[in-house]
Amino acid sequence: MIDGVAEEVDMLDRHLEVLQMVVSNEPIGIVKMANESGYDHHEIRYSLRILEEENLIEPTQQGAITTDETESFIESFGGQIDDIRTRLTAMKSSE
């Protein structure tokens, strides 16, 4: 079970790295992201698809760009991570 959680965290980390590349370099394409990050094209494409489903990026002819929802997501992200950390700590304490 823990291995599955670790894999999910790794994937989330990749999604966030891809989002950060879009925020910093928009518009940006898959090839440039793969070259700069070291991830395979299919990994970048999957992360972009997830980010698009969450309405955090949108595709254009020139590459991925942010949406109106991106900034508020980034602003609230730290609080969401803190909440998860608190829940994990509580779970550990109750063992």
Q: Do residues 66 and 57 make contact, with C-beta atoms less than 8 angstroms apart?
A: yes
Band of pLDDT at residue 94, cut at 50, 70 and 90: low
Average pLDDT of the residues in 78-93: 76
Strand (E) or helix (H) holding 66? strand 63-66
Burial classification of residue 59, based on how many CB atoms lie within 10 Å of its CB (0-12 exposed, 13-18 middle, 19 or more buried): middle
Domain ranges of the chain: 2-67
pLDDT over 70 at 95, yes or no: no
Q: Do residues 28 and 66 make contact, with C-beta atoms less than 8 angstroms apart?
A: no
Helical axes 41-53 vs 2-25, angle rounded to 10°: 80
pTM: 0.82
CATH 3.40.50.1110 fits 2-67, yes or no: no
Q: Nearest CA to 47 among 77, 14, 20, 74?
A: 14
Band of pLDDT at residue 74, cut at 50, 70 and 90: confident
Cβ count within 10 A of residue 26: 16
Higher pLDDT, 94 or 44: 44
Q: How far is CA 61 from the centre of its chain?
A: 21
**Each residue of 7-65: pLDDT tens digit?**
888 888 899 999 999 999 999 999 999 999 999 999 999 999 999 999 999 999 999 99
